[in-house]
Amino acid sequence: MQKRKLGRHGPEVPALGLGCMGMSISYGVPDDAESIATMHRAIELGCNLLVTSDAYGSGVNEALVGRAIAGRRDQVLIATKFGNVGLGGGVPEGLSGGHPDYVKLACERSLRHLGIDCIDLYGLHRVDPQVPIEDTVGAMQRLVEQGKARHLVLSEAGAQTIRRAHAVHPITAVETEYSLWSREVERDILPACRELGIGFMAYAPLGRGFLTATIKSVDALINQDRRRDHPRFSAENINKNNGLLNHLEDIAGAHQATPAQVALAWVLGRGDDIVPIPGTKRRSYLEQNLAAIDLQLTGAEAARLDRAFAPDVAAGTRYPEKQLKGLGL
């Protein structure tokens, strides 16, 4: 497995990590046995960066990861997050997701769920507009000093917030959505990370499955699938977005690869400081995703994708309107 340095002062991590959210919530029906087998297979293949959050089922996903890594702690890097109170996590009355008092409570709870005594990469899942970022990161810094966290991460933070947080304690990585059809971070977030020597973890690098070219109709999603609430997957928008897939499918055919592998190869090619973390709960898809590391796009192919998937080309926003308000703060 190829390795990448996560930021100027962060750990070496696999070039692709494994997002674990969909194993428990949002996409399809959970299958804990297959999900655990997928995590075990990922570890075997050197894809040992497992990414979760206390918000994924209010600790359910963390507990699942904890079961998978039991007896394997020294073989894995665990990334989890707190503070996404709109999705889950449970904040006591009088506190909010970024409140310093809550930071300690959330960390202790995650440690219990995961069955570990130190989190390798501990992140603020969403910036709390009620609390200065300096206060939240200050509390996270104390966790590092206490040996409960090794490195700090911000998720979906704005460029100025990243700079302010980094001035309090070094931020190892920023975790934000990045894919062919979600390129907003190229404007100011990626440049800020590179200026400060912060690594970048790209979640949803397959566009929540759309870039696999297997979801061409909303009817492909079960009724409980959360993507039905995402504007890009509405019946009207998905029909418009399907035209983008021709470019992926053409290039995939030339390489005898899958569209998903081409989409991942594109993200991997955007810089050695970027670590995509595609999610899956199936071993077969995990192995297909990891094969993207060896796929080399030609300059012409990368340029074709850049043009076809120009920023803001996708029909529909990447989150429902209510959730958009919590991004880039």
CATH number of the domain residue 103 falls in:
3.20.20.100
Q: Is 53 within a domain?
A: yes
Rg (CA), the chain: 19
Neighbours of 322 (CB within 10 A): 9
Q: Which domain holds residue 56?
A: 3-206+264-295
Asked, for residue 177, whether it belongs to a domain, the answer is yes
Q: Is the pLDDT of residue 87 over 90?
A: no
Question: pLDDT class for 91, splitting at 50, 70, 90?
Answer: confident
Q: Does pLDDT of 88 surpass 80? A: no
Residue 224 lies in a domain: no
Residue 81 maps to a domain: yes
241: pLDDT confidence band, cut at 50, 70 and 90?
very high
Count of the separate structural domains present in the chain = 1
Asked whether residue 326 is assigned to any structural domain, the reply reads no
Answer whether residue 228 is part of any domain: no
Strands 12-14 vs 3-5: parallel, antiparallel or unpaired: antiparallel
Q: Is the pLDDT score of 13 beyond 90?
A: yes
Question: Looking at 15-29, 82-96, 126-140, 161-175, which range is the least confident one?
Answer: 82-96
Q: What is the pLDDT of residue 26?
A: 83
pLDDT of 55 over the 70 cut: yes
Instruction: Take residue 39 and report the two structure tokens written for it.
Output: 């995590």
pLDDT tens track for 120-151 = 999 999 999 999 999 999 999 999 999 999 99
56 annotated active-site: yes
CB atoms within 10 A of CB 242: 15
Catalytic residue among 56, 178, 203, 285: 56
- The reply to whether 222 falls in a domain is no
Specify if 272 maps to a domain.
yes
- For residues 171-183, average pLDDT: 97
Look at residue 89 in the predicted model and tell me its pLDDT.
59
